[in-house]
Chains A and B, each alone.
Chain A
Amino acid sequence: MMTRWARILLAVAALSLVTSYVAPLWHIALKAPQYPEGLGMYIWSSKITGELRSINGLNHYIGMKEIHPEAIPELRLMPQIVAGLVGLGLLAAAWGRRIGLYGWTGLFLAGSLVGLADFWRWGYDYGHNLNPEAAIRIPGMSYQPPLIGPKQLLNFQATSWPATAGWFAIGGLVIVMALSVLEWRRARRVPV
Chain B
Amino acid sequence: MRVATLGLVVLAGCAGQSGSPIGGSGDAASKVYVAPGQYDEFYAFMSGGFSGQVTVYGLPSGRLLQQIPVFSQYPEKGYGYSEESKAMLATSFGSVPWDDAHHPQLSTTNGEHDGRWLFINGNNTPRIARLDLTKFETEEIIEIPNSGGGHASPFLTENTEYVVSATRFSVPTPQADVPIAGSKFGGLLSFVKVDPKSGHMALAFQIHMPGFDYDLSRAGKGPSHGWSFFSSYNSEEAKTLLEKNASQKDKDFIAAVNWKQAEQCVADGKAKQWPAKYAHNLRNEDGVATTEMLTSAAVLSPKDCPGIVYFLPTPKSPHGADVDPSGEYIVGGGKLATILPVHSFSKMIKAIADKAFETEIDGVPVLRYEAVNACEVQNPGLGPLHTEFDDKGFAYTSVFLSSEIIKWDLKKCVVVDRTPTFYSIGHLMVPGGDTRKPYGKYVVALNKITKDRYLPTGPELTQSAQLYDISGDKMQLLLDFPTTGEPHYAQAILASKIKDQQLRTFALEANHHPAAVKAEKDVKVVREGTTVHIYMTAIRSHFMPDNIEGVQVGDEVFFHLTNLEQDWDVPHGFAVMGANTSELLVMPGQTQTITWKPTRPGVFPFYCTDFCSALHQEMQGYIRVSPKGSGTKLSFNTGQ
CA distance in complex: A136, B618 (Å):
13
- Interface assignment of B225: CB less than 8 Å from any CB of chain A: no
Q: Is the CB of B568 within 8 A of A37?
A: yes
Most buried by B among A37, A53, A135: A53
Interface size on A, residues (CB 8 A): 9
Q: Pick the contact of B567 from A51, A61, A135, A136 — CB < 8 Å?
A: A51
* Closest CB in chain B relative to A38 CB, distance in Å: 11
Contact across chains for A57 and B565 when beta carbons are under 8 A apart? yes
The chain B residue sitting closest to A135, CB to CB, is B615
Instruction: Tell me the bound Cα distance from A135 to B566 in angstroms.
Output: 21
* B461 shortest CB reach to chain A, Å: 38
What's the minimum C-beta distance from B39 to chain A, rounded to whole angstroms?
A: 14
Contact of A61 among B565, B568, B614 (CB under 8 A): B614
Do A57 and B568 touch across chains, with their CB atoms under 8 A apart? no
Q: Is B539 an interface residue (CB 8 A)?
A: yes
B539–A57 CB distance below 8 A: yes
A residues 29-85 near B (Cβ < 8 Å) are: 37, 51, 53-54, 57-58, 61
Out of B540, B614, B618, name the residue touching A57 (CB < 8 Å): B540
**Nearest Cβ on chain A to B258's Cβ, whole angstroms:** 51
In the complex, what distance in Å separates the CA atom of A61 from the CA atom of B613? Answer: 10
CA distance A30 to B618 in the complex (A): 26
Asked if B566 and A61 make an inter-chain contact with CB atoms under 8 angstroms apart, the answer reads no
Q: What's the least CB distance linking B412 to chain A, in Å?
A: 52
A188 to B539, CA, bound (A): 66
Chain A residues with CB under 8 Å of B615's CB are 61, 135
Give complex CA distance A17, B541 in Å: 42
Chain B contacts of A57 at CB under 8 A? 539-540, 565, 567
Q: Which chain A residues border B568 with CB–CB below 8 Å?
A: 37
Q: How many residues of B contact A (CB 8 A)?
A: 11
Return chain A residues, CB-CB under 8 Å to B614.
61, 136
> Complex Cα distance A54/B618, Å?
19
The 8 A CB mask of B597-615 against A (1 = contact, 0 = none) is 0000000000000000111
By CB atoms of chain B within 10 A, which of A37, A51, A57, A135 has the most? A57
Q: Please, which residues of chain B bring their CB within 8 A of the CB of A58? A: 540
- Interface digits, B529-557 against A, CB 8 Å rule (1 contact, 0 not)? 00000000001110000000000000000
Q: Which residue of B lies closest to A58 (CB)?
A: B540
Contacts of A136 in B (CB 8 A): 614
- Give Cα A51 to B539, complex, Å: 15
0/1 interface trace, chain A 82-104, chain B, CB 8 Å (1 if under): 00000000000000000000000
Q: Which A residues touch B566, using CB under 8 A?
A: 51, 53-54
Q: Once the chains are docked, how many angstroms separate the CA of A7 from the CA of B541?
A: 58
A134 to chain B, nearest CB (A): 11
A70 to B267, CA, bound (A): 59
Residues of A close to B567: CB separation below 8 A: 51, 53-54, 57
Task: Give Cα A152–Cα B340 distance, bound, in whole angstroms.
Answer: 68
Q: Which residues of B contact A53 (CB under 8 A)?
A: 566-567
Q: Once the chains are docked, how many angstroms separate the CA of A136 from the CA of B541?
A: 13
Instruction: Report A-chain residues with C-beta under 8 Å of the C-beta of B539.
Output: 57
Smallest distance from the beta carbon of B266 to chain A beta carbons, Å? 51
Measured CB to CB, the closest approach of chain B to A60, in angstroms, equals 8
| Chain B nearest Cβ from A57, distance in angstroms | 6
Closest chain B CB from A16 CB (angstroms):
34
Give Cα A37–Cα B505 distance, bound, in whole angstroms.
Answer: 15
Q: In the complex, A58→B565 CA distance in Å?
A: 11
Query: In the assembly, what is the distance between CA of A37 and CA of B614, in Å?
Result: 19
Q: How far is the CA of A135 from the CA of B613 in the complex (A)?
A: 12
Assembled-state Cα–Cα distance A54/B613 (Å): 13
Complex: A53 Cα to B566 Cα, angstroms: 7
Complex CA–CA separation, A135 to B540 (angstroms): 12
Within A1-46, the residues touching B (CB, 8 Å) are 37
Q: Which residue of B lies closest to A54 (CB)?
A: B567
| A168 smallest CB distance to B (angstroms) | 31
How far apart sit A58 and B540, CA to CA, in the bound complex (Å)? Answer: 8
Name which of B540, B567, B613 has the most chain A CB atoms within 10 A of its CB.
Answer: B567
Instruction: Give Cα A135 to B618, complex, Å.
Output: 11
Report the Cα distance A53→B520, complex, angstroms: 14
Cα distance, A75 to B614, chains bound together (Å): 34
- Neighbouring A residues of B613 by C-beta, 8 Å: 61
B540 proximity list for chain A (CB < 8 A): 57-58, 61
Sample of 21 A–B contacts (CB below 8 Å): A37-B568, A51-B566, A51-B567, A53-B566, A53-B567, A54-B565, A54-B566, A54-B567, A57-B539, A57-B540, A57-B565, A57-B567, A58-B540, A61-B540, A61-B613, A61-B614, A61-B615, A135-B541, A135-B615, A135-B618, A136-B614
Ranked nearest first, the 4 interchain pairs of A and B with the lowest CB-CB distance are: A54-B567, A53-B566, A135-B615, A57-B540
Residues of B within 8 A of A (CB): 539-541, 565-568, 613-615, 618
Which residues of A are interface residues toward B (Cβ below 8 A)? 37, 51, 53-54, 57-58, 61, 135-136
Extra A-B contacts (18), CB below 8 Å, given A53-B567, A57-B540, A136-B614:
A37-B568, A51-B566, A51-B567, A53-B566, A54-B565, A54-B566, A54-B567, A57-B539, A57-B565, A57-B567, A58-B540, A61-B540, A61-B613, A61-B614, A61-B615, A135-B541, A135-B615, A135-B618
